[in-house]
């Protein structure tokens, strides 16, 4: 275990030092985007821990992005705008959970999918608030050194990912994680042990929504524009699902590692080589994970470790 810990510290130290060694801004942006996606995949896995499969994480991503963008263009400090994005995402998560209280499995997945569409519809139509289809422009960049314009977003994305992984890791060993695992396995038997499934599902949705909303707020500061079709895009619903499924949602590091690996492989390898087909990589990864890797890549590591004497 301490070997694993020192490995994590080394990777983190390396990632912290990367901007200082003069990595070009494009690569910093690419990595920051990968960290955002890794945060989304981990937040999706928080929900999946309780057996709730979301097809609508874009709801919380979009709500967080719009909340942070609106705050930022009205002069709120960046850190406070990000916190607002997290709070708005958490509130949206709680709302969806209460609305979908009696749903699970495929009906829940469809309901979350619909929620993202509702979010997009609201962003399109409430022009007085959201600017409609034109979106919100002129979101200030995160404050940072002029010499390295992408470094600030890179560090905030890294910090958000570390926070998310810490929360996820804490959750798996906590009362919340135990209750969610019981509800996932058999909600009726869980209820006989004193677990009210609705309470803990609500907690998971709120937590997942908050982390996803923070990522949305950060993303708004990175691209400095939000539009309905951009931040409520089904990409932000499907990418976390695909990446977490590939990485193994029952492991703490699997979803984030798969998100970073898959995104970088697509952007750096597939995109330059076969530009027209680069999205196919995600589809193939999902199919492969579902067919050949129950439990994802992370599950494979866990199984191997368990099989070892």
Partner 1 sequence: MSEPRPLIEARDLHAGYGLAQVLRGASVDAAGGEIVALLGPNGAGKSTLLRVIAGLLRATRGGLLLDGLPIGPSPPWEIAARGLVMVPEGGRAFEPLSVRENLELGAFLPSAHARAEETIREVFALFPILEARQRGRAENLSGGERQMLAIGRGLMARPRVLCLDDPFLGLGRDVADKVGDAIRAVAARGVAVLLAGQHVRRLLRLAHRGYVLEEGRVLIEGASPALGDDPRLARALLDVGRDIS
Residues in a beta bridge with 136: 226
Q: How big is the site for partner 1, counted in residues (CB under 8 A)?
A: 17
19-to-35, 147, 150, 189, 264 alpha-carbon distances in Å: 14, 11, 9, 51, 17
Q: Does 303 bind partner 1 (CB under 8 A)?
A: no
* DSSP-assigned beta bridge partners for residue 202: none
Dihedral pair phi/psi, residue 226, rounded to 5°: -125, 135
**By CB under 8 A, is residue 301 in contact with partner 1?**
no
User: Long-range contact list for 275-280, CB < 8 A, 24+ apart?
Assistant: none
CA distance 283 to 245: 12
User: Does residue 190 belong to the site contacting partner 1 (CB under 8 A)?
Assistant: yes
Q: Which residue's CB is nearer to partner 1, number 49 or number 55?
A: 49
Q: How far is the CB of 299 from partner 1 (least distance, A)?
A: 11
Here's the x/- map for partner 1, 236-265, by CB under 8 A: it reads as: --------------x---------------
Q: Is 194 in the site for partner 1 (CB under 8 A)?
A: yes
Structure tokens that stand for 123 in this block: 């962003």
Count other C-beta atoms under 10 Å from residue 225's C-beta: 16
Among 21, 188, 276, 291, binds partner 1 (CB under 8 A): 188
105: how many CB neighbours lie within 10 A of its CB?
10
Q: Which stretch binds partner 1 (CB under 8 A): 150-158, 179-187, 233-241, 262-270?
A: 179-187
10-18, 149-157, 183-191, 223-231 -> range binding partner 1 (CB under 8 A): 183-191
For residue 258, the minimal CB distance to partner 1 (Å) is 20
Residue from 176, 179, 215, 285 touching partner 1 (CB under 8 A): that is 179
189 alpha carbon, distance to own chain's centre: 30
CB 76 within 8 A of CB 230: no
Q: Given the rule CB under 8 A, which residues bind partner 1? A: 175, 178-179, 181-182, 185-186, 188-196, 250
């Amino acid at each position: 275990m301490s070997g694993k810990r020192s490995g994590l510290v080394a990777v983190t130290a390396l990632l912290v030092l990367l901007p200082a060694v003069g990595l070009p801004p494009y690569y910093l942006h690419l990595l920051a985007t990968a960290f955002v996606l890794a945060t989304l995949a981990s937040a999706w896995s928080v929900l999946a821990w309780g057996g709730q499969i979301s097809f609508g994480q874009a709801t919380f991503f979009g709500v967080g992005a719009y909340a942070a963008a609106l705050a930022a263009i009205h002069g709120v400090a960046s850190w406070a705008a990000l916190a607002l994005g997290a709070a708005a995402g958490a509130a949206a998560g709680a709302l969806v959970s209460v609305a979908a209280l009696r749903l699970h499995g495929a009906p829940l997945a469809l309901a979350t999918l619909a929620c993202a569409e509702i979010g997009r519809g609201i962003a399109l139509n409430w022009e007085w608030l959201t600017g409609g289809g034109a979106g919100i422009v002129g979101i200030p960049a995160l404050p940072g050194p002029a010499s390295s314009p992408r470094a600030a977003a890179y560090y905030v994305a890294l910090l958000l990912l570390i926070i998310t992984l810490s929360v996820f890791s804490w959750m798996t060993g906590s009362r919340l994680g135990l209750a969610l695992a019981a509800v996932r396995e058999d909600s009726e038997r869980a209820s006989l042990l004193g677990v009210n499934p609705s309470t803990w599902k609500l907690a998971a949705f709120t937590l997942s929504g908050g982390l996803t909303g923070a990522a949305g707020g950060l993303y708004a500061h990175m691209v400095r524009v939000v539009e309905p079709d951009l931040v409520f895009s089904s990409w932000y619903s499907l990418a976390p699902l695909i990446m977490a499924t590939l990485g193994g949602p029952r492991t703490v590091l699997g979803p984030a590692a798969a998100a970073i690996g898959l995104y970088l492989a697509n952007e750096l390898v597939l995109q330059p080589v076969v530009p027209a087909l680069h999205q196919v990589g995600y589809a193939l990864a999902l199919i492969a994970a579902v067919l050949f890797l129950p439990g994802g890549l992370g599950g494979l590591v866990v199984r191997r470790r368990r099989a070892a004497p």
